[in-house]
Every structure is written in structure tokens, then in C-alpha cells.
Amino acid sequence: MPLAANDFELVRQIVRDHVGILLDSWKTSLVETRLSAIARGEGLAGVDDLLNHLRSRSRSPLSTRVVESLLTTETSFFRDVHPFEALRQFILPDLIIQRQARRRLAIWSAGCASGQEIYSVAMLIREHFPSLLDWSLQLVGTDVSSSMLAKAAKGRYTELEINRGLPAAALVKYFEQHALEWQIKLEVRAMVEFVQMNLAGSWRALPKMDIIFMRNVLVYFDVEKKREILAKVRRQLHPDGFLFLGGAESTINLDDDFQPTYFGPAVVYRLRARVGEAA
Ligand SMILES: C[S@@+](CC[C@H](N)C(=O)[O-])C[C@H]1O[C@@H](n2cnc3c(N)ncnc32)[C@H](O)[C@@H]1O
């Protein structure tokens, strides 16, 4: 039976309350499929039982499972290529000079999903900037989804996930095969810390970042939430830091303090120079 409009509204409201995202109204059948799977997995009589539970307890482990099942967690290694080329050719060489005295660098993948983005950064550093391994180097991945974070921390990927964007040489050098899956080596996993954090809620205490990857996340929020999040990004970024957004995202008409800067085909957002502020 198709999901009734008021049931869809209930789930939509719960998702909004938990993670600040407003589900598109065309996602009714996706919601129904996910609710059915969860109801079956929980041994409930059906979707109605699950909806009754959600009606009585909008904050519970089960409601969290429902919300997590509705998040888009699509990602891949070296996604879109150009940001990583910009990192290799321009941004990291520049930051290495700027931060030479302090020898400290912090990079954040906000909305890291299953970890491919921040592991791509870690592999790029090992491959092209090994001297950074002697610095105080903080690579942080955060996501609201506990299941995504568990997968990210494990660093185990299927053949399909490996085949999306990972160069063969990197697979050979940085992964170990376990039956049909591949696990990123401990030396790379140990470079990254994964932390649960809701971008729409109050943020955890994180170090000031030199580079923030917040790609393919803002797109799910309404304008007001995007502005709120970008204002917090501004405070989390060193004044001379770099922000990467997804290809369909921009700060334009949302936050004038950010200025798009081009490194070849890659767009990076930088804070407009502010008098009196230092890196
Ligand atoms: C499409 S994935 C993007 C992954 C990666 N950044 C990339 O571009 O490949 C979006 C991720 O954002 C996460 N997300 C959605 N809402 C969030 C929120 N309120 N706080 C933190 N993470 C959130 C989802 O769980 C998902 O893992």
C-alpha cells in the first residue's frame, strides 16, 4: 500500500528535526521501501507498526535508523578529480610554505560518508607530500550517520567501490584484500580520525581548519540552513584557508564573505581578506 500523505509528512518532519534536511516530496516510494525494510529487519508486523512507533517516539534508536536510511551517502575515491589536482599542484605546496614555522595542518571532510574523500587526501599526502607525515597533521572525517562512520573507520570497500575512482597503483600500494573486499592499510587509517557530528546542530570542538571539504552536503539543506552552516564554516576555517564545495554547490547569494577562486577547472572558496586577521 502506498504511503499516506500524513505518514510521509511525519517521516519528513522527523528527518528535518534530526538532520535539518527537508525530504523532496517525490521521495514517497523511497521512504516506503526503506520503512518496509526496517520494519522487516526489526520483526515488526509492518510499516504501520513502525509508523506508530515513530509517532510515539520521534527520538529513539529506531527513528535514528529511519533517518540514516534516508540519507544520500553516495561517494567515491578522488571524486571529481579536479579538487585533488588543485590540492596536489597548488594548495598543499602553498600551505607547506605558509605553515613551515608551525608545522601544523588540519583538513576536514564534513559529511564524509564512508570515508573515501578523506582517505583520498591521506593517500595523496603519502604519495606526494611525505614530509607532512612528520608534521602535526590532523585529518578529520565527520558525518551524522553512525553506520557510515563505522564503515569509514573500518576502511573496507567492495570491488564496486574500489573501481570508482581509485587508481590501480593506489589499490596495490594502500589496500589489502580480504576475500571479496579491500581494506585500506592501517598506516593510512591511522592518519584519519572519524567523529560523529550533525552539521545542522551544535558543532563539536574541532581544530581550526586549513582545508575543508564540504562537498555534496549543502545541496540537501534549505537556504536558511545553508547560510547558518556557511557562517559556522567561516569561523572554523583559518582566514587563509580553503573550502571545497560540490560541483552543484556554491556560496554565491548565500555568503558574500567567501570568494570563488579558480585553480584550473577546480573552484575553491576563500575568505575575503579581513583587516587585522592573521592565519
Ligand atoms: C552525498 S554524501 C557526500 C560524501 C562526500 N562528501 C562526497 O562528496 O563524496 C553526503 C553525506 O552527508 C551526510 N549528512 C547529511 N546530513 C548531514 C548533517 N546534518 N550533518 C552531517 N552530515 C550529514 C550524509 O550522511 C552523507 O554521508
147-194 pLDDT per residue, tens: 999 999 999 999 999 999 999 999 999 999 999 999 999 999 999 999
* CB of 117 closer than 6 angstroms to any ligand 1 atom: yes
Going from N- to C-terminal start, the domains of the chain cover 5-69, 82-271
Average pLDDT over the chain, rounded to whole?
95
Ligand 1: which of 108, 144, 215 to mutate, judged by most atoms within 8 Å of the beta carbon? 144
169: Cβ contacts below 8 Å, ≥ 6 apart = none
Domains 5-69 and 82-271 share a fold: no
Q: Which three cell numbers stand for residue 174?
A: 594502500
Q: Does residue 34 surpass a pLDDT of 80? A: yes
Q: How far is the CA of 129 from the centre of ligand 1 (A)?
A: 27
Residues 65-121 pLDDT 10s = 999 999 999 999 999 999 999 999 999 999 999 999 999 999 999 999 999 999 999
Query: Closest residue (by CA) to atom 19 of ligand 1?
Result: 19
Task: Tell whether the model's pLDDT for residue 15 goes beyond 90.
Answer: yes
Q: Which residue has the cell 525494510?
A: 37
- Cβ–ligand 1 distance for 217 under 6 Å, the answer yes
Nearest to 233 by CA among 75, 115, 108: 108
C-alpha 102 – ligand 1 centre gap (Å): 31
73 lines ligand 1 (CB under 6 A): yes
Tens of pLDDT, residue by residue over 49-65, are: 999 999 998 889 999 99
Per-residue confidence (pLDDT) for residue 41, from 0 to 100:
95
pLDDT of residue 261: 96
The third-level CATH classification (topology) of the domain covering 5-69 is: Chemotaxis Receptor Methyltransferase Cher; domain 1 (1.10.155)
pLDDT exceeds 90 at position 278? no
CATH for 82-271 is 3.40.50.150
Q: State in Å: Cα 152 to ligand 1 middle.
A: 12
| Per-residue pLDDT at 279 | 44
Q: Is the CB of 137 under 6 A from ligand 1?
A: no
Mean pLDDT across 230-248: 97
Are residues 145 and 73 in contact, defined by beta-carbon separation less than 8 angstroms? yes
Query: What is the residue-wise DSSP string for the chain?
Result: -PPPHHHHHHHHHHHHHHHS----GGGHHHHHHHHHHHHHHTT-S-HHHHHHHHHH-SSSHHHHHHHHHTS-----TTTTSHHHHHIIIIIHHHHHHHTTTT-EEEEEEES-TTSHHHHHHHHHHHHH-GGGGGSEEEEEEEES-HHHHHHHHHTEEEHHHHTTT--HHHHHHHEEEETTEEEE-HHHHTTEEEEE--TTSPPP--PPEEEEEE-SSGGGS-HHHHHHHHHHHHHHEEEEEEEEE-TT---TTT-TTEEEEEETTEEEEEEPP-TT---
- The arithmetic mean of pLDDT across residues 197-212, rounded, is 95
Give the per-residue pLDDT at 276: 47
| Distance between Cα 100 and ligand 1 center (Å) | 32
20 C-alpha to center of ligand 1: Å?
Answer: 12
Quick check: 266 pLDDT over 60? yes
Task: Identify which of 64, 70, 71 to mutate to test ligand 1's pocket (most ligand atoms within 8 A of the CB).
Answer: 71
Distance separating alpha carbons of residues 30 and 38, to the nearest angstrom = 12
Report the distance separating Cα 215 and Cα 148, nearest Å: 16
All 3 cell numbers of residue 152?
569509514
Q: Going by CA atoms, what residue is nearest to atom 13 of ligand 1?
A: 111
Task: Tell me how far apart the alpha carbons of residues 219 and 250 are, in angstroms, rounded to a whole number.
Answer: 9
Q: What's the 37 CA to ligand 1 centre distance in angstroms?
A: 22
